[in-house]
Amino acid sequence: MNSVIFLTIVLLALSSYFFGRKKAILIQSNKRLTALPKFYGYYLAIWCGAPAFLLYALWSIFEPSIVRFFILSDYSSQGLLEGELNLFYEKVKSLSRNQYSGELTAELQRSAEKYLNFRDIAKWSKVVIVLSLLIASTGYAYTKISNNTKTREPVEIFLKGVFFLSSLAAILTTIGIIFSLLFQTIEFFQVIPLFDFVFGMHWYPAKAFVRDASEALDPSMYSDTFGAVPIFAGTFFIALIAMCVAIPIGLLSGIYMAEYASKRLRQYAKPVIEILAGIPTVVYGFFAALTVGPFLKDLGLSLGLEVSAESALAAGGVMGIMIIPFISSLSDDVITSVPQNLRDGSYAMGATKSETIKRVIIPAALPGIVGSILLGVSRAIGETMIVVMASGLAANLTLNPLESTSTITAQIVVILIGDQQFGDPKTQAAFALGLSLFIVTLVLNIVALSVVKKYREKYE
Amino acid sequence: MNKIEAKNVDVYYGAKQALFDINMDIEANKVTALIGPSGCGKSTFLRCLNRMNDVIDICKVSGVVKINDYDINQKDTDVVRLREKVGMIFQKPNPFPKTIYENISYGPEIHGVAQSKSEMDNIVEESLRKAALWEEVKDRIHEPGTGLSGGQQQRLCIARTISIKPEVILMDEPCSALDPIATAQIEELIDELRKEHTIIIVTHSMSQAARVSQNTGFFHLGKLIEVGSTDKIFKNPTQQQTQDYITGRFG
């Protein structure tokens, strides 16, 4: 039913465009219009669609809670708890869909009928009211159309509003996410001291499972459980390995593409490098876990080294390969945008190509290159799948790249896979980790963007 | 003696011919001006003299360009040595994004001229003095060269070029991005520099050519129409086209 109403509104709005334009064209035959006929069409279409759609949307949002209020008002005097009311209402709803399999009572039966009744009333009154608003607003706008109606301005204002709402939605979502992280994190820190989280040396969230759900929370049993040092260390360690792979290869290939490669080669090679960026990280993950990991293990055996099949080296190395295209492509762009006259100046001094690159072009492009590296680092810190698949899940505090270690992102996965219980420190730990990760990458991005911006100012 | 002799020089950009059979001799320790309307090939010819056209992929040069009686268009010419001997100043000042000091020390460093820090300091000071910039920047030679004014930047580029004591200096419209006062300073400098260097300057200002040069070559549509002493070219040209251009009838 809802989709039918929605489609009807859209179709009517579209057709009213043609009516509006037609009327304008008719007027045009003997009077001058203030705007092109299509603006009269848009004008009528907006008047037709926008109010009806707005009402329809608001109605759809508030209908369920209004119906619920009417159903439950019969029981409000019985002094039931909020939870009991909720349960009862859920029962009513499933009974109305004939999906209820529990014990039937007369009350339940009566409420379910009432519920169906209300739903019907609501549905039809919605159709009638929305459509009559649509007709009224369209009629009003249609009669208003004359040769000197202002149509361009309302259309522009409407469009401005649409753009504004879109960006508002994006911003509100961001703020919403930050706050949901924040509230859960605050709750987490009410049980686990901040100090233990930031400086604790043992990360062992599985210990929190041991608690019987009926037992009261006892903060003392969580001591030595949520110490984040091992996973922060693991995160930066794996990111470091990744950057050791990505920075040299990415930067040098970027320089090659920008300075040495012929146009033809560049035309083919650049998209191939950029394909690396399009490979889903889960594919990198099993590449790391099933190819690189065992290969390193065998290699280690032949050298007499003990290498874990799931090692930080495998995960970091493959992550580095994933990041190569970001650094390569960005630094290529930055180097290409260094003005040609600097190159000419250097060549005219008798400098060779490599001297020019090393002493003039790289210094000139350095802020941009640093920016691209910082963006690569924030990718490395945020990467999840490769670590989950290739580096194990045990949060060892180690600096040996041949052992397995774990990262913030991988631990969030570990915590939230399977049974979760809201309000439990174990689940809330994920939010605390998420917020720390968010802060780290946010800072990195801000630094990277300001560095890149500084670079732009220098040459523009 | 002629410093530079160009014989039968043709230049192509892809399929388009930019220079047609140029023959020109350039005298040592004089200023030679190349004039002509836009797109006539005067800058292209200038870039033949230190093989800067090598930088452009599609550009092909043929013919003989002899500097000190050595043909620089041979396959085994060491371009690095050549450009050490033949410096170049560009239309737009292009100091490197480094300090003033580093801008000057760049050339001596890559050519291994200075043996010690104090020797390098001397080269930097001497070059800046010769470029008439020392007094203006001596207190801030460790600040970025890009922070100077346009005229100062161009004199910095000249100082950079003379730091490795080239025999020839090519100037590609060195004053076209500068104001009249900066232009006058550069012109004065050019006259000073000619004592130690041979200078070839491309300009589209005829009055500038008349002011700074001893010899002038007039280019039109990729051909060298006429070359001779500046006096003769401006007062008594032999070709009608030169006469028309000098008197402002076209170009």
Residues in chain B: 251
Q: Name the 3-class secondary structure at A376.
A: helix
**Interchain pair A343, B50: CB under 8 A:** no
Q: Which of A342, A347, A363 sits opposite B83 (nearest CB)?
A: A347
**Interchain pair A341, B111: CB under 8 A:** no
Note whether B55 contacts A: Cβ–Cβ < 8 A: yes
Q: Which of A262, A345, A350 sits opposite B94 (nearest CB)?
A: A345
**Cβ pairs bridging A and B (under 8 Å):** 70
Lowest mean pLDDT among A122-136, A392-406, B23-37, B215-229: A392-406
Kindly indicate the confidence band of residue A411, based on its pLDDT and cuts at 50, 70 and 90: confident
Rg, Å, chain B Cα set: 18
Question: Looking at chain A, which residue has its C-alpha nearest residue B55?
Answer: A344
Class of domain B2-246: alpha beta
Lowest mean pLDDT among A134-138, A245-249, A386-390: A386-390
Q: What is the per-residue pLDDT for A460? A: 44
The answer on pLDDT for B48 being more than 90 is yes
Domains and CATH numbers, chain A: 2-150 (no CATH), 229-459 (1.10.3720.10)
**Interchain pair B94, A350: CB under 8 A:** no
The answer on pLDDT for A16 being more than 50 is yes
Which is higher by pLDDT, B196 or A35?
B196
Sheet architecture: strand order including B70-71: B16-27, B2-13, B59-67, B70-71
Q: CA distances (Å), A246 to each of A401, A406, A429, in order?
A: 16, 20, 31
Note whether B51 contacts A: Cβ–Cβ < 8 A: no
**Interchain pair B157, A351: CB under 8 A:** no
Mean pLDDT of A48-69: 89
Per-residue model confidence as pLDDT tens digits over B203-231 = 988 899 999 999 999 999 999 999 999 99
**Interchain pair B96, A364: CB under 8 A:** yes
**Interchain pair B106, A352: CB under 8 A:** no
Q: How far is B43 from chain A (nearest CA, A)?
A: 14
* Tokens linked to B162: 């003379």
Q: Which residues of chain A have a CB within 8 Å of the CB of B50? A: 348
Note whether B92 contacts A: Cβ–Cβ < 8 A: yes
**Interchain pair A363, B98: CB under 8 A:** yes
CA distance B247 to B251: 10
Question: Looking at chain B, which residue has its C-alpha nearest residue A455?
Answer: B97
User: What are the residues of chain A with a beta carbon less than 8 Å away from any beta carbon of chain B?
Assistant: 262-263, 339, 341-352, 355, 359-360, 363-364, 458
Q: In angstroms, how far is the first alpha carbon of chain B from the final one?
A: 33
Q: Which residues of chain B have a CB within 8 Å of the CB of A345? A: 90, 94-96, 157, 160
Mean pLDDT of A349-369: 90
A425: burial class by Cβ within 10 Å (0-12, 13-18, 19+)? buried
DSSP B133-169: -HHHHGGGTTSBGGGS-HHHHHHHHHHHHHTT--SEE
Q: Which of B81, B97, B106 sits opposite A364 (nearest CB)?
A: B97
Compute the mean pLDDT over every residue in chain A, rounded to the nearest whole number: 86
Per-residue model confidence as pLDDT tens digits over A163-222 = 999 999 999 999 999 998 999 899 888 888 888 888 888 888 776 655 555 555 566 666
Residues 6+ apart with CB under 8 A from B159: B103, B104, B127, B128, B130, B131, B133
Q: Which residues of chain B have a CB within 8 Å of the CB of A343? A: 55
Per-residue model confidence as pLDDT tens digits over B131-174 = 989 999 999 999 988 889 999 999 999 999 999 999 999 999 99
- Give the percent of chain A with pLDDT over 90: 32
Q: CA distances (Å), B245 to each of B158, B211, B230, in order?
A: 30, 17, 14
The answer on pLDDT for B121 being more than 90 is yes
**Interchain pair A348, B161: CB under 8 A:** yes
Q: What is the per-residue pLDDT for A456? A: 62
* Tokens linked to A89: 């209402």
Note whether B83 contacts A: Cβ–Cβ < 8 A: yes
CA distance A385 to A87: 39
Q: Which residues of chain A have a CB within 8 Å of the CB of B87? A: 348-349
The full set of domain ranges for chain B reads 2-246
Residues 6+ apart with CB under 8 A from B71: B64, B65, B77
Q: Which residues of chain B have a CB within 8 Å of the CB of A347? A: 52, 55, 83
Q: Which of A263, A355, A363 sits opposite B97 (nearest CB)?
A: A363
Q: Name the 3-class secondary structure at B113.
A: coil
Lowest mean pLDDT among A420-424, A447-451, B83-87, B96-100: A420-424
What are the two backbone dihedrals, phi and then psi, of residue B115, each rounded to the nearest 5 degrees? -95, -25
CA distance A333 to A87: 60
CA distance A187 to A165: 32
Q: Which of A262, A342, A350 sits opposite B84 (nearest CB)?
A: A350
B6 bridge partner residues: B24, B65
Mutate to test the interface with A, among B80, B99, B111, B157 (most CBs of A within 10 A): B80
Q: How far is A329 from chain B (nearest CA, A)?
A: 23
pTM over 0.80, yes/no = no
ipTM tops 0.95:
no
**Interchain pair B84, A347: CB under 8 A:** no
B90: burial class by Cβ within 10 Å (0-12, 13-18, 19+)? buried
What are the two backbone dihedrals, phi and then psi, of residue A147, each rounded to the nearest 5 degrees? -65, -30
**Interchain pair A364, B50: CB under 8 A:** no
Which is higher by pLDDT, B140 or A81?
B140
Nearest Cα to Cα of residue A93 among A65, A121, A112, A70: A112
Mutate to test the interface with B, among A264, A338, A349, A454 (most CBs of B within 10 A): A349
CA distance A293 to A315: 8
Residues 6+ apart with CB under 8 A from B37: B204, B220, B245, B250, B251
Number of Cβ atoms within 10 Å of the Cβ of A405:
30
Alpha carbons within 13 A on the beta-carbon side of A321:
17
Mutate to test the interface with A, among B47, B72, B96, B157 (most CBs of A within 10 A): B96
